[in-house]
Amino acid sequence: MKLLFVADPLEAFNPKKDSTLAMMRESARRGHSVWACEPRQLRWSRDSRGAQAVRAPCRHIQLLDGARPWFTEIEVLGLALRDFDAVLMRKDPPFDSEFFYATHLLEQAEREGARVFNRPRALRDHPEKLAILEWPAYIPDTLVSRDPAVLRAFAREHGDVIVKPLDGMGGAGVFRLRNGADGSPDANLGVVLETLTDTGRRTIMAQTYLPQIAQGDKRVLLIAGEPVPFALARIPQGGETRGNLAAGGLGRAQALQESDLAIARALGPTLAARGLLLVGLDIIGTRLTEINVTSPTCFVEIREQTGFDVAARFVDAVEAAAARPDA
């Protein structure tokens, strides 16, 4: 197969733990041809013969064994996305206007015959913080608003809350706000809400604080609707509220608990039917907090700690999906 990875610049990859690179290595091991481009390079145009297509300057790469450099470039060709057996959209958040435009170009490429995973429309329809609202039975008490007064009331009522932007990643912009012992609001409540909402101009999310975060923010991976049997629990360190690895959290792989499986089984078939081949559920305790669809990670950590090869399971799913006429 000829595979195109639409991702951040290759030079920015962390070879020790990048999940996209794990996918590439497994693809190359199977003899597939590995190519890459960046979302900013996507364009729709006519060629000299009048043929119309979504194209990009695509880098054909050979993977190396060393940490750096981890690849060498064979050639760069301007190719239509429909020329590939599968196109894997792996751009990291934030989901900004440029990401939105890229999904539209990828959807046009689908109309021209490209096989894109995850499906571009599904990426647009499942913003990672807001997608949980479809399954309220599994989530903590949650408020989505840009009204500082409404957010203040929620924080005062619940006493211990997390507030976060809707377009962040890696724990960026996440704050914990707690009432005092006498019930008084957190001294930073006003300034945090004013900052996150840009004084009422930006919508954010507030959720009740889940003390089970001390045991980790679990990343549960779904591949073609089926859960990977191990999660990566990202455990806060050094007094941090956030367990995100980017915020210094410790990643500990563990077998899925029954509550994890219940959530995965409830959501998996629906998400897969919508064209989401790979999904990362974030679960704290028994509560679902996010549904990650843009570029779910933790492949390498799970394999290193448990021996379960997530990348192999994923490439199996890509091969199967690309072979189906209705994919």
Active site residues: 129, 164, 219, 234, 242, 282, 290, 292
Say how far apart CA 323 and CA 64 lie, in whole Å: 28
Q: In sequence order, what are the residues at sequence separation of 6 or more whose Cβ sits closer than 8 angstroms to the Cβ of residue 296?
A: 19, 219, 221, 278, 279, 280
SS3 297: coil
Tokens 């690309």 — which residue?
A: 322
Is residue 222 within 8 Å of residue 271, measured between CB atoms?
yes
Q: In sequence order, what are the residues at sequence separation of 6 or more whose Cβ sits closer than 8 angstroms to the Cβ of residue 83?
A: 2
Residue 151's Cα: distance from chain center in Å? Answer: 26
Residue 319 — φ and ψ, nearest 5°? -60, -45
Say how far apart CA 151 and CA 207 lie, in whole Å: 10
Is residue 204 within 8 Å of residue 166, measured between CB atoms?
yes
Q: In sequence order, what are the residues at sequence separation of 6 or more whose Cβ sits closer than 8 angstroms to the Cβ of residue 276?
A: 118, 119, 122, 126, 222, 293
Residues forming beta bridges with residue 143, ordered by sequence position: 206
Is residue 202 within 8 Å of residue 164, measured between CB atoms?
no
Is residue 186 within 8 Å of residue 155, measured between CB atoms?
yes
No. of helices (H) and no. of strands (E), the chain:
8, 17
